[in-house]
Structure 1
């Protein structure tokens, strides 16, 4: 992979030199035009399977872009679409000629239609709804036509607002009935009062939505347009505006530099929603959830800056900053309402939810470990600083000190991350050998291997996956499955993302730049393959033991996305199957038998089917009695599935000693771990994973390996 990546960089650097991407060379010194030209160039040169930008491509972009702007078709008119349609097969020409006429037209029209919509929804919500009238609404807006008049547009808004209000109205009536049942002396509110309250809830929701969109600037909508273009290449190619790139880096590393607080904008106020454990705000004990930040003052500035009414992103930019710098916040406290000035020293803040977490459980006199890995994280500036592989290695060493007899690695909902961490983690469980094969378009394959013959853990291993286990998760699960090193328990197949992306800093192509940061492009540059030669693209990893879950019938995989790359296969790598197990297939068969007779799983599957039926239903009555009848039937059906959440195993999970020491000063971390342990004790999949480990430990470890495990 390194060789191919270096080759790509060299090719692109040479191309950039010959193309002279300097702003002075452009006919129009416009950042938007520069971005289109630069992005499409990098795509054509660097994408694994670059698409031809032609009329067909143009139509795809056109349709996706309009869907992104107005999915519910309650802003644009049919006449607007007719005017837009002149560009339907000409976006390719716009790109070629570095023009943005189509974007300008749609953007300006959307702003105009949004302003008109404000008056429409306020007018509609000023009057009571008649819930006795027999009418319905179809919420599958993809099949709806664009309206041809303002009268039709008002009617579309009216139905959507009525449906939203009806849902709240029904809930409020049920709440009143419940209060009356609990207290016969309670005086119930009238239906007129409840209807008015329900309309006010809908009005507040709409006003908050428009307050949010008010913070959108032209550049934000242009990012939507750019991504409508780049996502036509494949679902994982994406343009990051500068602030989006920052968020991506934080998500990959689990770290940020700032005060350690999550913020939300409501109306014009910037409010703290959570103080992140271990960060400067947490250590100061002066800030709490609900506090409002009014002003921000940097240590080198005399006057604070008011952030009331400011865009959330702009406020965040002012509050965060480099490690060891100081920031003074003017804060209105939630409890007393008093205003205080609080000075904090910014620091590296680690977002604990990003990182691996570990627990122990005793079963049948044996100790079993479970490691939950949310993503394959790494620091994009310095891989050695902290990454998923080094953390898991530390946790396995700690688990072994507690005499671990088997390990569950939970990759459910893990969307991927660093390819290098996959190879490093796989190396903890196998002797040296290939882990994944990587191929660039037109290039020979590279085989990424574990080159360390030592094995940190050679005992029983189970990996949990589901439909949202993607990319790097699939590589690791596939490698462990091909080596017969682990038993994979989970969904029929994982997500099915068998492609590799690299993030390209677009600024490096510019010799001079008067526009500031132009962002980055994440583009698909390679495909990866299992060591057995098969791709995980579309097909994912098929579990050894298939169990139903809530995602079983939901279309969420790669195969359900737009423009996925195809499945294919290459020659297998040279590898040897793990020789530490006996009766491997017998253990899988016994687990399947248990799962097939498990009542909890049968109920989960039935629930998943019902959820699918509900999501497919798009026609809803706007007449109260009909809606109430349907809602009551759904409630009765839902009660049948209450026992899913009431399921309880006999397993008790505990933290490792090092973490218990942290609890003495970090009660937030202790509370999070308690919630996780409680969730694990109700998890039928984890329960089965422990059963499988027990079977492997008792019957299926070769004597020589068993001795090593005991050591």
Structure 2
């Protein structure tokens, strides 16, 4: 794969070198023209599935860009949009002509409208809000129309400010109520005083938000424009402005500090898209993928800061902090509930990102579990440590305990090193292809396992969920295509079947008069299974589908904007696993068990409730109705807490080598104790073990003369 990537990049570099990307001056217009010229050229030459830049493309960029500028329709008027629409089919022409007229118009107009709102909100917050009025707020911004007058704009902002104040007012009433119940000495304030305090909090939050936006300059907004262009190619192609590139480099270096979560901005929301294994958020178990961070409060401050609408790097700067300090996040949960979570900042413990194993005892039968959070490797020395070597070691150790079956847990594994995937697949099959990789306009490259020996030839289950992506999907797909393992998990995995490369845009400049241009992350290749189908969009469909929290919500590649399509190529030449399983019989047994499992029924009920909650976009602003809805939600959440009370009849224990480590390391002991306690509650692991048992009962497992490593 590396060879094809190098050839591709060399071709692009040669093409760029032959063009005249020579800066004329250090002025922003010249820099922006150069940037858009260079990026459009690189996209055309290097993107795996480069789109035609025409009127259709122009219209799509127009819609995405306007939405990115004003996603909640709180600045622009319909007259602004009418004026902007004159350029709806002209962006493609302006890209070719390096014409910045449309960008300049929108940037100037946004600046003007923001200043108008800044002069408005203070006046709206002078008078108390009446929370006895029957009033609602509609947060379906996509269907919301733009305002046509200053009066309508004032009314829209009035509702936003009132709703924000209502939320804080409710919190303050609850805090005062709890203080009384807990007999905490505090000043007993009237409802009017608490409402005034809540309005002041809203005013402070809005002021801080505009203080952040005041720091944005034309370069920042031009990056928004550029990304509206590049993200129209696919959701993983992205332009990094210079400071964003620096931050990306730091995150790739492996040094992770703060709460241990990866954040992404979508419209005006900051969403948690990954919880880093070993980090403080992961250890606390109170944060999950899909949560939206609404506010951030430091331990030494009285009031939280709203980060809704804030620039991502500014929000990150508030969340990050020195090791040992605390931050309180106000989260909108996946189920729509609002909750405050306190996290003590720390450095991510890399050891917890590595493979680990556990011995499972089920009524005297022994099974093995290997948990793999990511496909890692040592960047300085691959052979020093990597996921494949570690997984192999864990399997060998489990084999010493005479296990009857093996579970590989890839849930929440977002991917990593492709080389380790191929090597791990080779632990379970003879020589053969594992994945096909195709670059633009080139023949597919088949990546193979070349070692005929096998580490584990017994019953195998691969566990996945909606957050298993990229490299995880390759391993699951290969084991499924070879009929080597049963895949258990969500209806399908994430569906990211593409490869990205980072291109430093500065390397192609003939001089550096314009300064740093940043970098472009661009999709250059696509993954294909050995059966020829792509893992893109469709992911890997589980053989045994189990319900989970994300079953009915949008979370995968198919739910992103502009994903590349699914397609297929010719299959690779491979032989099915010699000891074929009766998939139909095994899956049918599992379905029967799940239909009778009250725990899975409760999880299914919870998943449907979560989906219903997320579809609610209108909220009451009458206090009694608002309070009643919160209490109803809290009662329902309390009802679903029974999910965490479940315990299986499985017993989990560390292997001898780890027990000796635990004797010297009490912290490791606590971590493994917590992990095992969680595994006992994990109904999915329980079903995986049941499936392993079925494989034994339905089939006679022969070694077929295989020589183990």
TM-score range, shorter chain: 0.7 to 0.9
Shift of 1:172: 4.1
Does the 8 A contact of 1:582 with 1:701 survive in 2? no
Does the 8 A contact of 1:581 with 1:702 survive in 2? no
Q: Would the alpha carbon gap of residues 670 and 152 (structure 1) be closer, same or farther in structure 2, given more than 3 Å must change?
A: farther
Match of 1:164 in 2: 164
Q: Would the alpha carbon gap of residues 159 and 576 (structure 1) be closer, same or farther in structure 2, given more than 3 Å must change?
A: same
Q: Which moved more, 1:197-206 or 1:140-149?
A: 197-206
| Aligned-partner Cα distance in 2 for 1:262–1:187 | 34
| Aligned-partner Cα distance in 2 for 1:68–1:665 | 53
| Aligned-partner Cα distance in 2 for 1:83–1:229 | 20
Q: Would the alpha carbon gap of residues 245 and 171 (structure 1) be closer, same or farther in structure 2, given more than 3 Å must change?
A: same
Tell whether 2:435 aligns with 1:436.
yes
Match of 2:191 in 1: 191
Shift of 1:232: 0.6
1:131-169: CA deviation from partner (whole Å, max 9, x where unpaired): 111111111011112223333222212212222232333
Match of 2:491 in 1: 492
Shift of 1:357: 3.8
Aligned pairs for 1:23-62 (under 5 A) are 23=23, 30-62=30-62
Aligned pairs for 1:572-591 (under 5 A) are 572-580=571-579, 582-591=581-590
1:14-73: CA deviation from partner (whole Å, max 9, x where unpaired): 212311433359998833222211111111001121111122211211111121122111
Does the 8 A contact of 2:483 with 2:581 survive in 1? no
Match of 1:362 in 2: 361
What is the TM-score with the length of structure 2 in the denominator?
0.81
Note the residue ranges of structure 2 that are not aligned, 5 or more in a row: 262-274, 281-296, 301-310, 327-346
Match of 1:427 in 2: 426
Secondary structure, counterpart of 1:140 in structure 2: coil
Shift of 1:480: 0.6
| Aligned-partner Cα distance in 2 for 1:540–1:505 | 30
Q: Which moved more, 1:579-588 or 1:472-481?
A: 579-588
Does the 8 A contact of 2:496 with 2:537 survive in 1? yes
1:291-340: CA deviation from partner (whole Å, max 9, x where unpaired): 99xxxxxxxxxxxxxxxxxx9979999xx9xxxxxxxx9x99979xxxxx
Shift of 1:685: 0.9
What is the TM-score with the length of structure 1 in the denominator?
0.81
| Aligned-partner Cα distance in 1 for 2:415–2:102 | 36
Match of 2:267 in 1: none
1:617-653: CA deviation from partner (whole Å, max 9, x where unpaired): 2122211222233333333333332211222223344
Q: Would the alpha carbon gap of residues 148 and 619 (structure 1) be closer, same or farther in structure 2, given more than 3 Å must change?
A: same
Q: Would the alpha carbon gap of residues 13 and 333 (structure 1) be closer, same or farther in structure 2, given more than 3 Å must change?
A: closer
Match of 2:526 in 1: 527
1:590-640: CA deviation from partner (whole Å, max 9, x where unpaired): 222211221111111111111111111212221122223333333333333
1:383-409: CA deviation from partner (whole Å, max 9, x where unpaired): 556443333334334444555443322
Q: Would the alpha carbon gap of residues 12 and 666 (structure 1) be closer, same or farther in structure 2, given more than 3 Å must change?
A: farther
Shift of 1:236: 1.8
| Aligned-partner Cα distance in 2 for 1:398–1:186 | 58
| Aligned-partner Cα distance in 2 for 1:332–1:493 | 38
Does the 8 A contact of 2:179 with 2:185 survive in 1? no
Secondary structure, counterpart of 1:142 in structure 2: coil
Shift of 1:215: 5.1
Tell whether 2:136 aligns with 1:136.
yes
Tell whether 2:91 aligns with 1:78.
no
Match of 1:299 in 2: none
1:464-486: CA deviation from partner (whole Å, max 9, x where unpaired): 11222222222111111111111
Match of 1:477 in 2: 476
Give the total of aligned pairs: 648
Q: Would the alpha carbon gap of residues 35 and 404 (structure 1) be closer, same or farther in structure 2, given more than 3 Å must change?
A: farther
Match of 2:562 in 1: 563
Q: Would the alpha carbon gap of residues 602 and 333 (structure 1) be closer, same or farther in structure 2, given more than 3 Å must change?
A: closer
Secondary structure, counterpart of 2:142 in structure 1: helix
| Aligned-partner Cα distance in 1 for 2:171–2:355 | 40
Match of 1:396 in 2: 395
Match of 1:114 in 2: 114
Q: Would the alpha carbon gap of residues 691 and 7 (structure 1) be closer, same or farther in structure 2, given more than 3 Å must change?
A: same
Q: Which moved more, 1:12-21 or 1:139-148?
A: 12-21
Match of 2:406 in 1: 407
Q: Would the alpha carbon gap of residues 672 and 512 (structure 1) be closer, same or farther in structure 2, given more than 3 Å must change?
A: farther
Q: Which moved more, 1:137-146 or 1:80-89?
A: 80-89
Does the 8 A contact of 2:260 with 2:348 survive in 1? no
Q: Which moved more, 1:615-624 or 1:413-422?
A: 413-422
Does the 8 A contact of 1:393 with 1:428 survive in 2? yes
Q: Which moved more, 1:636-645 or 1:135-144?
A: 636-645
1:501-534: CA deviation from partner (whole Å, max 9, x where unpaired): 2222323322332344433222222222211122
Does the 8 A contact of 2:470 with 2:496 survive in 1? yes
Q: Would the alpha carbon gap of residues 161 and 583 (structure 1) be closer, same or farther in structure 2, given more than 3 Å must change?
A: same
Q: Would the alpha carbon gap of residues 491 and 332 (structure 1) be closer, same or farther in structure 2, given more than 3 Å must change?
A: closer
| Aligned-partner Cα distance in 2 for 1:591–1:518 | 55
Aligned pairs for 1:686-697 (under 5 A) are 686-697=685-696
Secondary structure, counterpart of 1:488 in structure 2: strand
Q: Which moved more, 1:418-427 or 1:246-255?
A: 246-255
Q: Which moved more, 1:486-495 or 1:80-89?
A: 80-89
Q: Would the alpha carbon gap of residues 154 and 651 (structure 1) be closer, same or farther in structure 2, given more than 3 Å must change?
A: farther
| Aligned-partner Cα distance in 2 for 1:461–1:332 | 41
| Aligned-partner Cα distance in 2 for 1:485–1:242 | 46
Secondary structure, counterpart of 1:513 in structure 2: coil
Does the 8 A contact of 1:291 with 1:333 survive in 2? no
Does the 8 A contact of 1:534 with 1:568 survive in 2? yes
Does the 8 A contact of 2:260 with 2:279 survive in 1? no
| Aligned-partner Cα distance in 1 for 2:78–2:512 | 40
Note the residue ranges of structure 1 that are not aligned, 5 or more in a row: 265-273, 280-288, 293-310, 321-328, 336-347
Shift of 1:186: 9.9
Q: Would the alpha carbon gap of residues 87 and 375 (structure 1) be closer, same or farther in structure 2, given more than 3 Å must change?
A: farther
Secondary structure, counterpart of 2:496 in structure 1: coil
Q: Which moved more, 1:556-565 or 1:171-180?
A: 171-180
Does the 8 A contact of 1:252 with 1:380 survive in 2? no
